[in-house]
Structure 1
Amino acid sequence: MNKMRVYRKSILAVMVGLASQQAFAAGFQLNAQSATGLGRAFAGDAVIADNASVMARNAAAMALFDKTAFSMGFESITSKIEVKDATYSVFGSDQSANYGNAGDTTIAPNIHLIVPINDKFAWGVDVYSNFGTKTDFGDNYTASEYGGFTEIKTLNLGLAGSYRIDEHWSVGAGLDIVYGYGKLKRTSSDALRTAVPSYPTTVANIDADGFGLGFNIGTVYELDDKNRFGFSYHYQPDVKAKGDDTYADTSYPDDEVTLKLPDMAEFSGYHRLNQEFAVHYSIQWINWSEFDTLDSSSLSVPIKTYNWKDGWHYAVGGTYYLNSTWTLRAGYMYDTSAQDSLTSISVPDSDRQWFSTGFTYHIDEESNVDFGFTYLLGKDVNVSESTTSGGTELSSLTAVTHADAILMGLQYSRTF
C-alpha cells in the first residue's frame, strides 16, 4: 500500500506539472486592450492617447484628455498550432503523434471610460483581458497525457486616476481586480494504460477560478505638443484559483492552485513629424520568471518547479493622418519567448513576429470606428517531454511545434 501511494504521488507531481506548465507561458499574453493598438503592434500605446483604451496601458495618459472619452470593442485571436515530426514512445514502443491544428479562437472584449474632472484631475474605469487562450487536441490524441484540453481566461476590472503636475509632467495610478479561470484536462493514453494497467485514467481534471488584487502606476512627459514619452508599471497579483479538482484518479475537494501572473513595465514614445505622419515605439518587459513554482493547497511540496525567463516586446509603428475621415497605421513587434529549457506541445511558445496594420474611420468629430489586424508568426521549436515514476521512464514525446496566429479587432470610440 505504501508503494502504491508513492507511485500515485509521483504521477500526481509529474503530470499536474506538465498540465500546468502548458497553461501559463508567454503565448497567453493577449495584448487585447484595443483594436487601435492592434493595428500598430501596440507601438507607442502607453502614451499615444488617441482614445480611452490608453488607460489600460498607462493611467497617467488620462491627463491628456480634456473631454470625457469612451471606447468599447473586441479582439479575436485565432491560433494555428501544428505538431510535426512527433514520436510518442511507451517503454520503447514508438508511434506517430503528429497533429494538424490544436489551436482555437478566443474572443476578448474590452471597454474603457475616462472622465476629466478639471484641468488637473481625471479618473477612469475599464474592463479587459490580459491573458487567455484555448487549445484542444481532442479525445483521441495518441499522446493524450501531453495534449488534452486547456482553457485559460482572465478579466481585469480597473479603476484609475491621473494628475497633471505641470505642462510637461503627469502621473497616474490605479487598482486592478483580476478574475482568473482555468480548465485543464489530461488523460492517459491507451498505450500507457495497456503497458501499465494500474496507471490512472484521469491524469488531471482542473476546473478552478479565483480573484487577485493588483495595481499600476505611470507617468507621461510631454516635451512639446508633438513629442511625448510614457512609462508604466503593472503589478499582477497571485490568483488563488479554487475548484474540485482530480489528479491521478483522486478527487481533491476545495483544491486551491496559486497562479502567479507576471508583472509588466513599458516605455513608449510618440513623435508627430509633420501634419500627416507620426512615428511611435514601445519596449515592454514581462516578468515571466515569476513562475518559479506552481503550488496547490492539497500538497505539502510544489507541484512543479519552473525555469522560465523574462520576456521582452520591441515594437515600432507609424501613423498616417490621411484626412479628416481616415487615419491609417501599421507596426511591427518582436516578442521574445518565456520558455527556456521547459517546452511543451500544448500551446507551444517561441520568439514571435507581429505584422500589423489598421485604420480609423472618423464618423464625425466626436466618434470613430477602429479596425486592427495582426499576423503573428512563430518559429519551429524542438520539444521533448517525458513521464517518469520512481526513476523509470513510462512515456516520452519528441516533436517539432509551430504556432502562428491571426488577430483582428473592432472598436467604437466617442468623446463627450
Structure 2
Amino acid sequence: MQNKFNKLSWAVAIAAATFAGQASAGGYQINEQSVSGQGYGHAGRSSNVHDATIVFGNPAGMSFLDRAQVTAGGTYLDVSSDISNVQANAMLDSGFAATGNPANATGQQVPVGTIPGTSEGDMVPGKLIPFAFYAQPLNERLAFGFGVYAPFGSMTEYEEGFQGRYFGDYTEVRVVSAQPTLSYRINEQWSVGAGITYNRVEGELRRRVPGNPAQPFDPSADIDSRVEGDDDGWGYNLGVIYQPVPETTLGLTYRSEVDYTLTGDFRATAPDGSIALDPNTGVPLQDSASLDLTTPETVNFSVTQQMSDRLKLMFGASWTRWSRFDQILVTGSQGQQITQETQDYSNAWAFAVGGEYQLNPQLALRAGVSLDNTPTSDQHRSVRIPSDDRRIFSIGAGWTPIEDLTLDFAYSYLTERSTRISQSRDDLYSGLGGATYAADYKNEAHGFGAQLTYRF
C-alpha cells in the first residue's frame, strides 16, 4: 500500500509542479551536471570535451578523451522569491453564504472575504545537486562511461497558513539517473555514442482543503490532502560529434522521453490526524489512484571554436518537447476522476554563449550567458512552480595544480522575468465553495559549484 501511495505522489507532484528545475533550466529540468560547463553557461554542452561530465553532455565525446578519468562534484542552489500584490478571496455559493443551508444553493459563487494567511515567498529551500561520472578509453576508438546525476527536480515549501494553500503548499520532486554509455570514434572527424538511462523518481505533493462548515476557510480546520511516491523508468541518450577541422567541433545530443504508469493512493487528513470524511457521503477520503506520465525528450546542439591557442568560444541551443504535458489526470479505483488540471505546456528553446581563456597551463577562466524560455502559459501558471523566462549569468575557473588533477569552480546568477499567478477553483467546500489567488512573483537564484577531476 505504501509503495503504491509513494508512486502516485511523484506523478502528481511532477504533473502539478510541471517539470521543474526551479533554479536552472525551464520547467523542472536541471542543468547542474557539470561545474566546468556551468562556468561558460553550458554553451558547449554537446561539443566541448573537457572532462568525464561529457558522459552526460554528449556520449560521443568520451572517445576524444586520452585516458581514464573520474569527475565528481555538485552545485548548491540558493533560490529566493518575492511575492507582492496578493489577492486571495474566499468564495461561497450565494444561497449557502446567505443562509448557511446547503439546500439553498444557487450554483453561483460570490466572494465572502479574504482568505486569512500570509504570502511570504522564499518557499524554495537551498539544495545541493551532486553528480559523478567515470570515462574509460577501451582502445583507440572505443570508450566506456558511467554517470549518476539528477536530470529533473523541484521543491516549493510555503509557510504554514500560506494564502494560496488551496492550490498547493508543498511540492517536492527528486529524479536520479544512472547512465552506462559507449562511444565509438569512426575516424578523425566523426564520433558517435549511445547510452541507456535508469531513472528513479520520488516526490510529494500537498495542498489544503477547507474543513469547517461554520468557518469554511479557517486555517486551523483545514484538511491536509497529499500524495507521495516513487517510480522508475528507462530511457536512452544518443550523441554525435563532428570535427570538420581540428579547431571546430560540432555536437548533437538527443535524450529520449521516459514513460511512466504510476499507481498508488491518495488521502486527506483532518486536523486531529484522522482520515477526513467526504461531507456528502461520509466515506473516508482515501482511495487507490493512477496517472500516466511522459517526461519530454530534449535535443541539444552546440559548437566549440578554438579561436587561438588560449581562447575558445562556444554556442549552444536546446529544445525540449514540453507539449507532451497538457494536463494532469488522476483517476481512482473505479475509473472516476480524482483530479484534472490543464497545464497546456508548449515546446521551449534555451540558448547559451560562452567562452574559456587559458590564462596559463594551470588556470582557465570561463564566462557565459544563457536565455531559457519558459514552457508555461500565463493562463495556467501555478503557485507550485511560479516561474517565467530566465536569464543566467555565469563565471568559472579551472585550476590544475598537478597534471592528473583539476579543480573547477563556478558561480551563476539567475533572474526571472516578473510574472503574475492567477488561479481559481470552485470545488473546495463540498461543491459549495471555492477560492481565488493572484499575486506577482519575482524569482532569482544563486548557484555555487565545485568539482574535482582525477585522471588515471
Whether TM exceeds 0.5 here: the answer is yes
Counterparts of 1:291 and 1:312 in 2: how far apart (Å)?
16
Give the number of equivalent residue pairs: 399
1:319 is the counterpart of 2:356: yes
* Root-mean-square deviation (Å): 2.5
1:380 is the counterpart of 2:418: yes
Q: C-alpha deviations, 1:173-202, integer Å up to 9, x for none?
A: 1100011111111113589982379xx943
Q: C-alpha deviations, 1:112-156, integer Å up to 9, x for none?
A: 011111111111110000111221112222332124111111001
Match of 1:284 among 306, 318, 329: 318
Preserved contact between residue 256 and residue 297 of structure 2 (Cα < 8 Å): yes
Q: Which amino acid aligns with 2:396?
A: G
Residue of structure 2 in register with 1:266 after alignment: 300
Counterparts of 1:37 and 1:189 in 2: how far apart (Å)?
47
Residue of structure 2 in register with 1:110 after alignment: 131
Q: CA distance change for structure 1 residues 319 and 191 in 2, over 3 Å: closer, same or farther? A: farther
Moved more, 69-78 or 133-142: 133-142
Counterparts of 1:34 and 1:217 in 2: how far apart (Å)?
18
Q: Which amino acid aligns with 1:404?
A: E
Residue of structure 2 in register with 1:56 after alignment: 56
Q: CA distance change for structure 1 residues 51 and 34 in 2, over 3 Å: closer, same or farther? A: same
Deviation at 1:384? 0.8
What is the DSSP-based 3-state SS (H/G/I as helix, E as strand, rest coil) of the residue aligned with 2:402? Answer: coil
Whichever of the two has the greater Rg, that structure is 2
Preserved contact between residue 181 and residue 241 of structure 1 (Cα < 8 Å): no
| 1:330-341 equivalence runs, <5 A | 330-340=367-377, 341=379
Preserved contact between residue 41 and residue 393 of structure 2 (Cα < 8 Å): yes
Residue of structure 2 in register with 1:7 after alignment: none
Q: CA distance change for structure 1 residues 101 and 20 in 2, over 3 Å: closer, same or farther? A: same
What is the DSSP-based 3-state SS (H/G/I as helix, E as strand, rest coil) of the residue aligned with 1:37? Answer: helix
Residue of structure 2 in register with 1:403 after alignment: 443
| 1:9-408 equivalence runs, <5 A | 20-25=15-20, 26-91=26-91, 92=111, 93-94=113-114, 97-188=118-209, 194-195=215-216, 201-202=222-223, 204-246=225-267, 249=276, 250-253=285-288, 255-296=289-330, 298=332, 299-301=335-337, 303-340=340-377, 341-389=379-427, 394-408=434-448
Q: Which amino acid aligns with 2:177?
A: N
Q: CA distance change for structure 1 residues 350 and 268 in 2, over 3 Å: closer, same or farther? A: same
What is the DSSP-based 3-state SS (H/G/I as helix, E as strand, rest coil) of the residue aligned with 1:77? Answer: strand
What is the DSSP-based 3-state SS (H/G/I as helix, E as strand, rest coil) of the residue aligned with 1:130? Answer: coil
Moved more, 203-212 or 276-285: 203-212
Preserved contact between residue 81 and residue 401 of structure 1 (Cα < 8 Å): yes
Counterparts of 1:226 and 1:394 in 2: how far apart (Å)?
62
Preserved contact between residue 36 and residue 372 of structure 1 (Cα < 8 Å): yes
Moved more, 140-149 or 153-162: 140-149
Q: CA distance change for structure 1 residues 227 and 258 in 2, over 3 Å: closer, same or farther? A: same
Q: Which amino acid aligns with 2:437?
A: L
Moved more, 316-325 or 391-400: 391-400
Preserved contact between residue 47 and residue 61 of structure 2 (Cα < 8 Å): yes
Q: CA distance change for structure 1 residues 118 and 277 in 2, over 3 Å: closer, same or farther? A: same
Counterparts of 1:117 and 1:89 in 2: how far apart (Å)?
64
Counterparts of 1:228 and 1:146 in 2: how far apart (Å)?
47
Q: Which amino acid aligns with 2:400?
A: H
Residue of structure 2 in register with 1:412 after alignment: 452
Moved more, 92-101 or 71-80: 92-101
What is the DSSP-based 3-state SS (H/G/I as helix, E as strand, rest coil) of the residue aligned with 1:62? Answer: helix
Structure 2 portions without partners, runs of 5+: 1-10, 21-25, 92-110, 270-275, 277-284
Counterparts of 2:352 and 2:176 in 1: how far apart (Å)?
25
Could you tell me the TM-score, scaled by structure 2's length? 0.82
Deviation at 1:172? 0.7
What is the DSSP-based 3-state SS (H/G/I as helix, E as strand, rest coil) of the residue aligned with 1:321? Answer: strand
Preserved contact between residue 210 and residue 223 of structure 2 (Cα < 8 Å): no
Counterparts of 2:408 and 2:402 in 1: how far apart (Å)?
13
